Structure 1
């Protein structure tokens, strides 16, 4: 430590922590891979094959993990001569492409400020990664796979542009679908039978619930983003980057390992680079499944034997893609620091020029994505048409699926302009997910709660006592009317029942279990109804008394 015998700084110990840093990078990669795998399992379990982002979304935490994962590709001066060292640099760049494509649906539920901050942070990370890779290609720190690195750089920049310009459409699509939801919601309420009709045995509860679930499912911000043409295109780009990494690994280990000219020796990261390579390759393989599935599903839905659209119709750019940019262009600027008319005019002209460039770029991205989708559909359809049996089978499946859709619920599918051919698919996907939830609910029924609700004895009449106990006829002790809480009177009456003497312990135990099962549903209703937080104190009191 310190200076050597010649007075020079001794740097022999500087590289000792690098293997530990490699383990740190591998751990961060494993965490990201586990999060993406959890989203994959969540999509399969809940029959949501567009794979929403529940565990791995674009936020400050994941961006921090990503910045750790790209440590090796950002390292400019550490010698990394071996095969696994060079592959680890490539896998770090491919990993960035994978996480961008995987987290793209999460843009839908972000507010505008969070969206802007996350994209700025991601942009800084992507640009830094690209610049550092270019520097290493120039200095020779990366001396193999130059074509693969160049392709991954292009894919990374394209995916970031797609991600950024897709985020611009989020406010417009939300506004449009919210307006459409309100209209359909009012229409659905008029069609629902009254409470008295349901008590008479009208078997329409499931159908009515399907209408509301259909609206909620198809207007979900994540689903809207996941089914967009730009998201499906990013899925293919993610798949292409994963193929690039796989090609480099196959060449390195199986096909031409001697011709690539790997240098001898080990890097200062030592054995940890192998750990990083394995963890990031696994994360890339797992993370590619969801984006590639979205792309394949989009291509499958638009095959010629499912829909017939010309190239002109396919390449039409809908208004919501540039609506926000057009609104900003027409909105006057408020530069309070600029006083002169020339400076104000110059600022307005620059603003309009920048927005014109952004609008043109948005048009270009959407048109390129749609054209690529059209080419993918054409190529896939030619492959399928080569086999008559498979095509006939696909037609039969498509017709069977179409006939299985309920016309009464299809009208409640909320879709954007240009998504008309996806209406039937969205209706089927919602029905599959809803039926899965219903089957899951049947397996986990609140048995004690059902017994309490169905009780008709003299002393046990379900929850009718709560209605009498929580009566409006009793004057409030306070000056104002307290908020109408459901949980507090339920817990209060249960506490009184538990305190009563000469009650069988078995009956009390069943009552407490039934009330605990009921509180699960009560809390869900109060979460939705208590928008202003008026029931906060009552709910806290109920939680304190809760058994």
Structure 2
């Protein structure tokens, strides 16, 4: 086989190198996506008033690591000559982008379990080692040319920062599982304290007013916010140190760009095969470093502000004490047995000793990292103390000049008395050795829950509240009852509120001689109510016993609300063609009976024995048959039958009663959301509880008033 000539070889080489600039654009696009994700985290943190910027969109996972791997194409490329100014800057900016990324997603370990943490740290470690090894190979192989090589000092510093940040990030990850266990124990203690207070105040579910619910949610909000694993990492000394490193390397990139811009054309001098694409890479990665430095910097400032508090300055007597949760996980691994099944005692001993040596080294490295981080924080506090003091003085002068009003308390006066800031400081959860959070932080946390409740108030379902004013007697609907008309098949499926609401609404829409001005508001009100009914049923039905029944209600409601149909029957057309209510009910009853009987005839397997396994259309048909038969009996037995519109009003009252019976569980649902056990989901659930309270505050007031009015009428009737 003959070798290609020089001319052909040159043509082949040019063909191979032709798409390389587009590969560079792919690198720029990956870097830009990382920048967008970090920007989204900044926006989310600012919008939620969490200026320690939790990791929501840019967290350590397979997608993020894949993007970073693409962004690292230039530093790991050993075959392409990159000597021009723009090429060198692209390599340095790539390395600094990785460091900035690690500083950003450090807090995301708080949302992971130990298995996810180990997998992600391992994957990141492989990426870091690959980058560092490739950079070292390039430096060693080109050591004779380093004198003429631009920015090699910045490249070495950036590589070292990657390695240092990875070690710091690993130290934080090792701490997370132990910190979670410690916080969980503290949470259970505070939960017991809160439960005892609620018991003393006789705060049973049925006696919980909206103001008492506000007080209760504030307690759990403080517990959830201060024990949030991401917040715990964000205020840790290691996260604070990563913020300092991110600031320093961002400054190094800025000075490198300024120096290169002064010496030459920073975005036009390129000599590599990546050609013009390196300019886009520099722009995308520089913007990523600029945006990505904000979150680590604010976390550093947050930790410094906490440490500067009065109690924090006193605690520096023990500033270099290493708390147990930093090394507890490594100690447990060291003392545990080997996961491998090796029968030979000699080899087991060798492996166990080797494991002990490795973990002893890891423990010492962990302690060194923690001590280094504490030293950085101490220097930071000493350096920033004057600035913070000046800022506090300016703020005090501004407050004195702008307001002479009374002090603002964290908790407003409630029905049971006045609650002060001290009431909530007891519910702040801190790790061992952590300084108490400043009063302003606690105040901001409490303001968040108040704002969340106010946001919920703006979303109150006004149509639903209007319908609930028709409540007549919802006590009989609190527990779903057995129908007067038996099921077409026995045993029958269990009832649920949502299915009854959908059935009654479908019947109401099908009634003749009822103006659309009456049916449309009813449809809107039920739609608003079903949102809360489904939420209540989902939480109360923990074992999913009524899941198929709830699915039947969902499927039926889609047809009723969007198309005004049930099965293949057009309810609007039926209301126009039928002469009276009796005819409508008769047609629906016959159709429902036919569906159930057809199912019984055609299906002979075990599904027919268990109503929970019935198809959703059979469940809805069986329920509508029983409901309509009951209503037909009422019509036949009445000496003065209701008009069509009168029967519609009666159904509207029944719908209101069913809704009221279900919504009396709202206080129980709000309390259950506050008692969420999972530490990762706790903050989210208390957030939802606060929003739910705001949305349903008007509903709870109406239900309490109607309940009192019904009891008064009953007492008058008895006397």
Q: TM-score, normalised by structure 1?
A: 0.87
3-state SS, counterpart of residue 422 of structure 1: coil
8 Å CA contact 1:46, 1:436 repeated in 2: no
Q: Given the superposition, is the C-alpha separation of residues 182 and 486 from structure 1 closer, same or farther in structure 2, using an over 3 Å criterion?
A: farther
Report the counterpart of residue 246 of structure 1 in structure 2.
254
Distance 1:502 1:436 in 2: 46
1:113 Cα deviation after fit: 1.7
Q: How far did 1:107 drift? A: 0.5
**Distance apart, 1:91 and its partner CA:** 0.8
User: Equivalent residue for 2:97?
Assistant: 95
- Is 2:171 aligned against 1:171? no
Report the counterpart of residue 18 of structure 2 in structure 1: 16
C-alpha change, 1:69 and 1:452, in structure 2 (3 Å) is farther
Give the direction of change, closer, same or farther, for the CA distance of 1:432–1:182 in structure 2 (3 Å limit): same
Deviation at 1:40, TM superposition (A): 0.9
Tell me, yes or no, if the aligned pair for 2:312 and 2:435 is still in contact at 8 Å: no
Q: 1:6 to 1:46 in 2, by over 3 A?
A: closer
Provide the C-alpha distance between the structure 2 equivalents of 1:490 and 1:407, rounded to a whole number of angstroms: 46
- Alignment of 1:494 with 2:502, yes or no, is no
For the pair 1:327 / 2:338, whether they are aligned, the reply is no
Aligned to 1:208: 216
Query: Which runs of 5 or more residues in structure 2 are unaligned?
Result: 401-405, 411-419, 562-719
Q: Which residue of 2 aligns with 1:222?
A: 230
- Cα pair distance change 1:211/1:469, threshold 3 Å: closer
CA drift of 1:180 comes to 2.4
Q: Quick one: structure 1 residues 524 and 158, their matched pair in 2 at CA, closer, same or farther if it must change by over 3 Å?
A: farther
* Match 2:367 to one of 363, 368, 382: 363
Cα 1:82–1:298 shift into 2, 3 Å: same
Displacement of 1:402:
9.7
* Superposition CA RMSD, Å: 3.3
The SS at the match of 1:416 is coil
- Find the counterpart in structure 2 of residue 427 from structure 1: 442
Please state how far the C-alpha of 1:468 moved relative to its aligned partner. 5.7
The aligned counterpart of 1:131 is 133
| Residue 297 (1) aligns with residue 302 (2) | yes
Displacement, 1:408? 1.7
Deviation at 1:59, TM superposition (A): 0.8
Distance of aligned partners of 1:524 and 1:326 in 2 relative to their CA distance in 1, 3 Å threshold: farther
CA contact (8 A) 1:402 1:424 kept: no
Correspondences of 1:91-170 after superposition (within 5 Å): 91-140=93-142, 143-170=149-176
- CA shift, 1:241, in A, is 1.7
More divergent stretch after superposition (428-437 vs 271-280): 428-437
Structure-1 separation of matches of 2:523 and 2:285 = 49
Q: C-alpha offsets along residues 234-261 of structure 1, whole Å, 9 cap, x if unaligned?
A: 122122221111111111113x449x9x
Q: Secondary structure at the match of 2:313?
A: coil
Larger displacement relative to structure 2 (507-516 or 94-103)? 507-516
Distance 1:18 1:527, change over 3 A: farther
Superposed CA offset, 1:212-250 (max 9, x none): 222222222222222222112112212222111111111
Residue 384 of structure 2, aligned match among 380, 384, 400: 380
The alpha-carbon deviation at position 384 of structure 1 amounts to: 5.0
Counterpart of 1:61 in 2: which secondary structure? helix
- Say whether the 8 Å CA contact 1:303–1:377 is kept in structure 2: yes
CA separation in 1, counterparts of 2:424 and 2:87? 55
Change (3 A) 1:269 1:147: same
Moved more, 31-40 or 530-539: 530-539
Alignment partners' CA distance in 2, 1:541 and 1:205: 33
Equivalent position SS for 1:471: coil
Tell me what 2:187 maps to.
181
Structure 1 unaligned regions, length at least 5: none
Which stretch has the larger CA shift, 75-84 or 112-121?
Answer: 75-84
